[in-house]
Structure 1
Amino acid sequence: MSGGVEIPVRVSRVEQATATVKRFSLEAVSGEPLPLYSAGSHVVVTMAAPDRKIKNPYSLIDRAPDGSTYRIGVLRTRDSRGGSAFMHERVEVGTELSITMPVNLFPIVRTGRKHILVAGGIGVTPIYAMAEELRRQNLPFELHYAMRDAASGAFADELVARHGDKVRLYRDDAQEIIAVDRILWRQPLGTHLYVCGPEGMIDAILAGGREAGWPDENLHSERFMAHVSGEPFSVRLAKAGVTTEVRPDQSLLEAIEEAGVDAPYLCRGGACGQCETAVLEADGELMHHDHFLTEEEHASGKKIMTCVSRLKGRELVLDL
């Protein structure tokens, strides 16, 4: 029900991709090859901080040909007190972590006649893997990558070097924007679009696709929401008979795990629905931050995604 089997890994290389992005190479502590995965997959990385365990999802950029190494890209987020700060400040060559088996919630549709890849910022990590897989399979694609400026475009030079004129870069400081209507114009029937990046960008790209008449099944996106801090509150887990406190800088899911209760999760980013939990009582307002439940489900007050959502109030009672 929870994240499943975890694989002990060791950091074999750390690269400074930009001022705020590091790339980490991970190898199995056992020396065995790491599992195969498809482009768009992510793993949940467990970090042993001094006061708690931190679990964050990271997209897999690529895998060594011999299967010995995974690579992930980690953005140092502003004022981070969680995983990104730990990865940037504490993790070095030789550090041991653990990862889940790869999970793919953002797969390439193999039957697509062409593939349009759109990335913004650190959203380039799954897109990088997709471009590599499409190149290996000799499938038609183009890649559009938006960044704040040249210095912040993680892996941009690598993408251009590997894929040439299939890659188009857009810089905010040069007033360059991705014109969705132009990208989608006259694409062959059966083309699929994939976008990962800031929430506003994803919404704009998908809206442009719908306005251009593209069916929803041809529009794909991945969003990973960091948990949002808030006021502390109490959570009572009815089945387990446990009551615990959720700290301001802690997610509801983290508090449940810290209390020793095994709770379901998969993406830990509010996207997959695996951590959906029934709400039995709520003394306060549910603060929903997921992208899985419908507006009606949010309004009902009967469900919550424990990885990103929380309570603004005194006590929450869950069916766990």
Structure 2
Amino acid sequence: MSARLDLVVATVDDSVPGTRSLTLVAPGGGRLPSYTPGSHLVIDVPAGEGRARRGANAYSLTGESIDPQHYAVSVLRCAPAAEGGTAAGGSAWVHGLAVGDRVTATPPRSAFAPVHRATRHLLVSAGIGITPLLSHLRSHVRWGRDVELVHVCRDGRGAHVDELAQLAGDRVTVLHDRADLAADLAVRLADQPLGTHLYTCGPPGFMDAVVATATDLGWPASRVHLEPFGVEALDPGEPFTVGLGGEVVEVPSGTSLLEALEDAGRVVPNLCRQGVCGECRVPVAAGSSPVLHRDLFLSDDERARGDVVMACVSRALPAADGRAHLEVAL
């Protein structure tokens, strides 16, 4: 199991309806590990109160990333999930925390870092999707980079809206209507200097619309970066097979490798089932197809080696012979 941080809830802010903002500190005070803008904190969620199992949820860090004295997260209260899923159960648990409560978490990790070679950074968010982009904006302002942010939220229910204006002034545009955003983006995305990178976070349909607009206007995929909310934002994927020491198991579209392994009677340690905690790491043996990594845990170097897979979210890609197959060592 990955190393854990012990943290204490220092403040609770419920001023935005439906969203709870927390600051978390080390029990004895002092500095916490620095992190890359766009990082998330994976907080352990205990079982109970509608949650069938203990789990973990990833929440984007919104505060200062360099030598921080506290970690700050903002969590939207989700509707109850079917069968006690940890995403909704985790948000309900966070909304029940009080000052002085203790939590454990893995150190911050990022799969949504700013591209520092970019000449300009265009940030586009919706709703609680503002959280990873707030840390981007904070970093760009600190280092004097060229940045602008467009955010859409319901009037009166926008987390961090006042903070955005204080941080970056007229470089921030806040809208309250999706149609207004669509019109704004059609103009804004058509008139960006060469070398601009686009970053977007929000509900899947929103991000699909942003990416579609950028694609229609000729943006290369290499300059468009997405931060999905979690496993529910992933597509079902193509079917593939997995080899288990001579036994071959089918992994249909919509079924995770982790679920297929469990159905085959294999025990795989797991916690979050969302690609963020790193518990379900499975070794991949030689002769396997390329891996479609969809987790938020492995580093770029680990992904490039192709010798491990996070079984809860990642899949096999077709090899040169057209076959999609993973050989795993359990």
TM-score, length-scaled by structure 2: 0.71
1:166 equivalent in structure 2: 171
Moved more, 122-131 or 162-171: 162-171
* 2:71 aligned residue: 70
Structure (1/2) with the larger strand percentage: 1
Q: 1:158 to 1:235 in 2, by over 3 A?
A: same
Which shows bigger deviation, 47-56 or 154-163?
47-56
Aligned to 2:229: 224
Residue of structure 2 in register with 1:131 after alignment? 137
Superposed CA deviations along residues 211-244 of structure 1, whole A, max 9, x for unmatched, are: 211121111111032569x9xx896487xx7569
| Code of the aligned partner of 1:22 | R
Distance 1:262 1:58, change over 3 A: closer
Deviations 1:64-89 (A, max 9, x none): 87622010010101125510011112
- What letter corresponds to residue 67 of structure 1 in structure 2? P
Q: CA deviation at 1:98?
A: 0.9
For the 8 Å contact 1:237–1:319, the answer to whether it is kept is no
Show the counterpart of 1:314. Answer: none
Cα shift at 1:201: 1.1
User: Given residue 38 of structure 2, which amino acid in structure 1 is its aligned partner?
Assistant: G
The 3 A distance-change label for structure 1 pair 302 and 208 is: same
Which consecutive unaligned segments of at least 5 residues does structure 1 have? 245-251, 279-287, 304-317
What is the aligned partner in structure 1 of residue 80 from structure 2? 79
Secondary structure at 1:93's aligned position in 2? Answer: coil
Q: 2:303 maps to what in 1?
A: none
Distance in 2 of aligned mates of 1:189 and 1:255: 39
Contact between 1:181 and 1:208, CA under 8 Å: does it hold in 2?
A: yes
Could you tell me which amino acid in structure 2 is paired with residue 86 of structure 1? W
Counterpart residue number, 1:21: 19
After superposition, give the CA deviation of every residue in 1:114-167 in whole Å (9 maximum; x if it has no partner).
Answer: 1100011111000111111100011111100011x2122111122112211111
Give the letter aligned to residue 150 of structure 1.
D
Deviation for aligned residue 1:302: 5.0
Check the 8 A contact 2:39/2:61 in 1, yes or no: yes
- Segments of 5+ residues of structure 2 without an aligned counterpart are 234-254, 283-292, 299-307
State whether residues 316 and 325 of structure 2, in contact with CA within 8 Å, keep that contact through their aligned partners in structure 1.
no
Q: In the aligned structure 2, how far is the partner of 1:176 from the partner of 1:255? A: 36
Superposed, 1:252-291 pairs within 5 Å as 253-254=270-271, 263-264=280-281, 271-272=295-296, 274=298, 276=309
Match of 1:95 in 2: 101
Instruction: Find the counterpart in structure 1 of residue 182 from structure 2.
Output: 178
For 1:43, the equivalent position in structure 2 comes to 41
Residues 1:154 and 2:159 aligned together: yes
Instruction: For 1:52 and 1:222, locate their aligned partners in 2 and report how far apart those are by CA, in whole Å.
Output: 26
Separation (CA, whole Å) in 1 of partners of 2:147 and 2:108:
24
Comparing 202-211 and 188-197, the one that deviates more? 202-211
**Cα distance, 1:104 vs structure 2:** 1.1
Letter in 2 for 1:63: E
Q: Distance in 2 between matches of 1:41 and 1:277?
A: 18
Contact 2:111/2:297 (8 A) holds in 1: no
CA distance in 1, matches of 2:181, 2:162: 19
In the alignment, which of 111, 118, 121 is matched to residue 112 of structure 1? 118
Corresponding position of 2:128: 122
Closer/same/farther in 2, CA of residues 164 and 255 from structure 1, 3 Å limit: closer
Q: How many residues align?
A: 272
Task: Tell me if the contact between 2:64 and 2:135 (Cα under 8 Å) persists in the aligned partners.
Answer: no
In structure 2, give the amino acid aligned to 1:70.
Answer: Y
Aligned to 2:59: 58
Pairwise mapping of residues 192-271 of structure 1 onto structure 2 (< 5 A)? 192-226=197-231, 236=262, 253-254=270-271, 263-264=280-281, 271=295
CA contact under 8 A between 1:20 and 1:76: conserved in structure 2?
yes
Distance 1:301 1:65, change over 3 A: closer
Q: In 2, distance between residues paired with 1:74 and 1:255?
A: 17
Paired letter, 1:205? V
Q: What does residue 33 of structure 1 align with?
A: 31
1:309 alignment counterpart: none
Are the structure 2 counterparts of residues 105 and 85 from structure 1 closer, same or farther at C-alpha, using a change threshold of 3 Å? Answer: same
Percent sequence identity is 30
The alignment's C-alpha RMSD in Å is: 3.5
